[in-house]
Amino acid sequence: MRVLITDFGFPNVDQERSLLTAAGAEVATAQCRTPAEVVAAGRDADVLLVQWAPIDRSVIAALDHCRLIVRYGIGVDNVDLRAAGERGIPVCNVPDYCIDEVADHTLALALALARQVPQTDAAVRSGTWKITPPGPIPGFRGSIFATVGFGRIARAVLSRAAAFGFVTAAYDPFLSPDAFAETGVRPLSLDALLATAGVISLHLPLNAETRHFIHAGTLARMRRDALIVNTARGGLIDTVALAAALEARALGGAGLDVFETEPLPPDHPLRSAPNVLLTSHTAWYSAASIPELQRKAAEAAVRALTGQPLRNVVNEAFLSPAR
């Protein structure tokens, strides 16, 4: 049995190697950046562990023995789920790591923007000392902090926001009212969320339906003082439209940890837009989250190799009978 770690940015993969070799697997590593490199390294692999490498239809068509693809992380937009399913290859992710880290980062961005921390810091450094901030700051108590999506991370974000006195709300058309009632979170339609929320935090997967979920039209429907935060997937926001809204002072501010193109291009208008906080896809990170991610990804591979039931299969809708 052969497992290929197609690419990784971790200091080492000792943990994976230990778990997988104990299950009887041979472990190979690579740093694939293109589909051709994945095919060359992984054509005969039984399992792929993938961080950023592109696993498109051409790669999947060339896999002769693959019985599982594991994505190091929550998002799976670098894997063609349909193509894998058509070949009977389950794709698993790791949806239950870095929940606290991303929720903490989301609140950090939202609170720094809401309290105008970057602007006040810049004023102090430039020699201006005022005991009032550069602009009006609404109180948190009674203001609506809303998430688009209501999964694990969104719920962790909202529990933190509630501690600051925010009214918590969410839009998720796939959940029943009971799911909101048991948490005390107010369900909102998308129209109501855009019109009333003081802070909007995105927590959606990226797919054809959610790409540019936030665009010029939705931005125009938000409050002019609203803050938007994205620690989910970069493609959820049309960032050129977002930069234009910020430049026009049609939006209160934005905090972004993820971008359509990473690194963010040097000439992107967000870099010069006002009232925006930019972090470099670091929300997931802590000293604890990295080993947790590596362990859980390796454990998913071990389950496949030892005939145990799989968990967190994200392409079940596409799965055909195994080859």
d(CA 293, CA 92): 13
The distance of Cα 257 from the centroid of its chain, to the nearest Å, equals: 9
d(CA 98, CA 104): 10
Q: What is the Cα gyration radius of the chain?
A: 22
Cα–Cα nearest to 112, from 247, 277, 317: 277
Give me the pLDDT at residue 322, please: 63
Give me the pLDDT at residue 321, please: 83
3-state secondary structure 291-314: HHHHHHHHHHHHHHHCCCCCCCEC
Taking the alpha carbons of 301, 306, 311, 314 in that order, is the dihedral positive or negative? Answer: positive
Give me the pLDDT at residue 254, please: 98
Go through the domains of the chain in sequence order and give each one's CATH number: 2-97+287-318 (3.40.50.720), 99-278 (3.40.50.720)
The token pair that represents 310 in the structure block: 């799989």
Cα angle for residues 264, 270, 273 (degrees, 5° grid): 155
Q: Are 145 and 161 in contact (CB under 8 A)?
A: yes
Taking the alpha carbons of 210, 214, 220, 226 in that order, is the dihedral positive or negative? Answer: positive
Give me the pLDDT at residue 46, please: 97
Going by the DSSP 8-state scheme, the letter that residue 237 receives in this structure is B
Q: Which residues in 61-77 are b (16+ Cβ under 10 Å) and which e?
A: eebeebbbbbbbbbbbe
Active site residues: 233, 262, 281
d(CA 87, CA 70): 15
Q: How many residues does the chain have?
A: 323
pLDDT in tens, the chain (323 residues): 999 999 999 999 999 999 999 999 999 999 999 999 999 999 999 999 999 999 999 999 999 999 999 999 999 999 999 999 999 999 999 999 999 999 999 999 999 999 999 999 999 999 999 999 999 999 999 999 999 999 999 999 999 999 999 999 999 999 988 899 889 999 999 999 999 999 999 999 999 999 999 999 999 999 999 999 999 999 999 999 999 999 999 999 999 999 999 999 999 999 999 999 999 999 999 999 999 999 999 999 999 999 999 999 999 999 988 65
Decide: pTM greater than 0.85.
yes
State residue 4 phi and psi, 5-degree precision. -110, 125
d(CA 84, CA 320): 9
